[in-house]
Amino acid sequence: MASNTNLSVILQKPGEIVIENRPIPEIGPYDALVNVKVTGICGSDVHYWTKGRIGSFVVEKPMVLGHESAGVVAAVGDKVTHLKVGDRVALEPGVPCRVCDQCKHGRYNLCPEMIFAATPPYDGTLCNYYRHAADFCFKLPENVSLEEGALIEPLSVGVHAVRRGKVQAGDRVAIFGAGAVGLLAAAAAKAAGAGHVTIADIVASRLDFAKTYCTDSQVLLEKTDPNEPNIDYSKRMANKILESHELADVVIDCSGAETSVQTAIYITRNGGSVVLVGMGAPVQSIPVSEIGIREVDIKGVFRYCNTYPRAVKMIASGTIDVKPLITHSYKLEESVEAFKHVKEGRDGTIKVQIHG
Ligand code: 572
Ligand code: ZN
């Protein structure tokens, strides 16, 4: 039964999360009011909480957190025809302007006017009721749960990365970072027909999980040593990987670490691609001669676009099973504890979800 409250998980200021009852939003003719049921916690939510900013996006006023959500339609505006009250939907959390050149070319993730949930100054979805553009609400088939629906957002990052890398049937794909996005990129690569997916990380327990999920081999990377130059470490790690692996057609970096990006370039075949998903230091040193001499394509990834319909089909058809990634669940009232859990990076944690 839907409630009359709109409990909202608010980043009051950096370091302080409060849960407050906010007014239930009014909707416009093209909107849906969604009773949010499940929201996953993303690294960016934790980053805003602990650091108050990501790059030039700075928390300057209280902001509702969360952008990985699914829920039930509670009301629709009078121009909305594809949704009705009671429909279960996944929320695509970024709404672009729809009229700029990027939007018109279909690359709406690059729209400079994008309104993205829980990216300052815009409120996120971790609340009881969220107003959303109805065309960014995607109806879930009966056999897709709301928990799975809330994983469509990070799955979209993986799907977009695989598309950017143009992964082909039979390709050898390597992934750096065995967190939720890395694992979902692995799942998307397999779904695209990759012949071999290897995943690398410095955390052994993450690789133990990866052994059970969409990867063919796992590589435990050494921790970096401050006395060894990054580039020397990266060459060593590349040689280590290449002792047991062929060069990769596509490498997807989901770690953001400079050493991973360097190692990724060294293990990519001539003419292959490195796809940058992870967000690390904004300026990094990379071996440009390798890129030039061997025509390695470096491709950026900014969230995703046009992925939701395909991601819904992948889950509904059983092509990708996202359920194993849900390792922990909390009630909305326990959100502070849930955020602490993710911040601490407790062993065995992949995705923490909050139930509203
Ligand atoms: O799920 C989408 C998503 N995107 C992230 C991070 C987490 N989740 N991005 C990394 C940070 N950038 S940003 O441009 N920014 C804060 C808007 O630095 C967006 C993409
Ligand atoms: Zn995210």
Taking only the tens place, the pLDDT of each residue in 263-275 is 999 999 999 999 9
Rounded (5°) CA angle 65-67-73? 110
Q: Is 253 in the pocket of ligand 1 (CB under 6 A)?
A: no
8 Å CB contact between 327 and 349: yes
Q: Helix, strand, or coil here: 287?
A: coil
Q: What is 121-156 written as a DSSP string? A: TS--S-BSEEEEEGGGEEEPPTTS-HHHHTTHHHHH
- Which ligand sits closest to the CA of 41? 2
Q: Is 110 in the pocket of ligand 1 (CB under 6 A)?
A: no
Q: What pLDDT shows up at residue 3?
A: 80
8 Å CB contact between 215 and 197: yes
Estimate to the nearest angstrom the gap between the alpha carbon of 271 and the chain centroid.
27
8 Å CB contact between 128 and 7: yes
Annotate 96-114 with b (16+ C-beta within 10 A) or e (fewer): beeebebbeeeebbbbeeb
Q: Is 206 in the pocket of ligand 1 (CB under 6 A)?
A: no
Report which ligand 1 atom has the smallest distance to the Cα of 154: 1
- Distance of alpha carbon 29 from alpha carbon 97, whole angstroms: 17
- Which ligand sits closest to the CA of 158? 1
Nearest CA to ligand 1 atom 2: 303
Residue 284 Cα to ligand 2 middle (Å): 22
Rounded (5°) CA angle 103-320-351? 85
Q: Is 203 in the pocket of ligand 1 (CB under 6 A)?
A: no
Nearest CA to ligand 1 atom 4: 303
Q: Is the peptide bond before 121 cis (omega within 30 degrees of 0)?
A: yes
Decide the pairing of beta strands 53-54 and 57-58. Answer: antiparallel
Decide the pairing of beta strands 268-276 and 196-201. Answer: unpaired
Q: Is 342 left (phi over 0), alpha (psi -120 to 50) or beta?
A: alpha
Residue 301 Cα to ligand 2 middle (Å): 13
Q: Is 238 in the pocket of ligand 1 (CB under 6 A)?
A: no
Q: Is 260 in the pocket of ligand 1 (CB under 6 A)?
A: no
Which residues make Cβ contacts (< 8 Å) with residue 1, sequence separation at least 6? none
Best residue among 11, 39, 41, 44 to mutate for probing ligand 1, ranked by most atoms within 8 Å of CB: 44
Q: Which protein residues have their CB within 5 A of the ion that is ligand 2? A: 42
Q: How many C-beta neighbours within 10 Å does residue 124 have?
A: 28
Best residue among 41, 49, 54 to mutate for probing ligand 1, ranked by most atoms within 8 Å of CB: 54
Residue 333 Cα to ligand 1 middle (Å): 26
Q: What pLDDT shows up at residue 2?
A: 67
- Distance of alpha carbon 60 from alpha carbon 179, whole angstroms: 29
Residue 309 Cα to ligand 1 middle (Å): 21
Domain annotation for the chain: domains and CATH numbers: 7-151+322-355 (3.90.180.10), 157-300 (3.40.50.720)
Report which ligand 1 atom has the smallest distance to the Cα of 302: 20
Residues of the chain under the 70 pLDDT cut: 1-2
Q: How many C-beta neighbours within 10 Å does residue 65 have?
A: 27
Residue 307 Cα to ligand 2 middle (Å): 14
Using CB atoms within 10 A of its CB, is residue 209 exposed (0-12), middle (13-18) or buried (19+)? buried
Q: Is 54 in the pocket of ligand 1 (CB under 6 A)?
A: yes
Q: What pLDDT shows up at residue 49?
A: 98
- Distance of alpha carbon 260 from alpha carbon 51, whole angstroms: 23
Q: 96, 87, 89, 38: which is closest to 67 by C-alpha?
A: 38
Residue 31 Cα to ligand 2 middle (Å): 23
